Amino acid sequence: MNFLLGFSMPGWPEIMVILLIVLVLFGSKKLPELARGLAQSVNEFRKARDEFDKEIHSVKKDVVPVEPAGKQAQTAPTVPPSQPQQPA
């Protein structure tokens, strides 16, 4: 695991080298198409995330909270039923 400590986030020089390699591999004509596709996928991901959040919030509103067994709701004290009077 110690070998991973030498790695960190790439800085600007590394990013520029990566972009240059991508430009050489794909060519200048394909880069706009790749960027468009990446933007569309990011937008689809955001839409799915928003729908998921809306669904979670709607389910959250529908759920009735259940009180734990140790904390029962405090209600008015119950009065034991009086003995019915029998006619004499």
pLDDT, tens digit (0-9, with 9 covering 90-100), for 13-28: 998 999 889 888 888 8
pTM: 0.47
Long-range pairs of 74-82 with CB within 8 A, sequence gap ≥ 24 = none
As a whole number of angstroms, the distance between CA 88 and CA 74 comes to: 40
The arithmetic mean of pLDDT across residues 16-45, rounded, is 90
pLDDT at 39 over 60: yes
pLDDT at 68 over 70: yes
The arithmetic mean of pLDDT across residues 38-59, rounded, is 93
As a whole number of angstroms, the distance between CA 72 and CA 59 comes to: 25
pLDDT, residue 81, reads 61
